Chains A and B, each alone.
Chain A
Amino acid sequence: GESVGLHLPTLSVQEGDNSIINCAYSNSASDYFIWYKQESGKGPQFIIDIRSNMDKRQGQRVTVLLNKTVKHLSLQIAATQPGDSAVYFCAESLQTSGTYKYIFGTGTRLKVLA
Chain B
Amino acid sequence: KAGVTQTPRYLIKTRGQQVTLSCSPISGHRSVSWYQQTPGQGLQFLFEYFSETQRNKGNFPGRFSGRQFSNSRSEMNVSTLELGDSALYLCASTVGPTNEKLFFGSGTQLSVL
Chain A residues at the B interface, C-beta cutoff of 8 Å: 1, 5, 32, 34, 36, 41-46, 49, 89, 91, 95, 97-102, 104-107
Contact = CB atoms under 8 A, between A and B. Distances in A.
A42 B9 CA distance: 10
B42 A104 contact: yes
Contacts, number: 58
**How many of chain B's residues touch chain A, expressed as a range?**
20 to 34
A43 B90 CA distance: 7
Given A99-B48, A101-B45, A107-B42, A43 B4 contact: yes
B105 interface: yes
B106 interface: yes
Interface of B: 4, 6, 31, 35, 41-43, 45, 48, 50, 55-56, 59, 90, 97-107
B45 A44 contact: no
Contact of B104 (A1, A32, A41, A43): A43
A54 B47 CA distance: 29
A41 B105 CA distance: 11
Nearest to A44: B104
Contact of B102 (A102, A105, A106): A102
B45 A46 contact: no
A102 B85 CA distance: 21
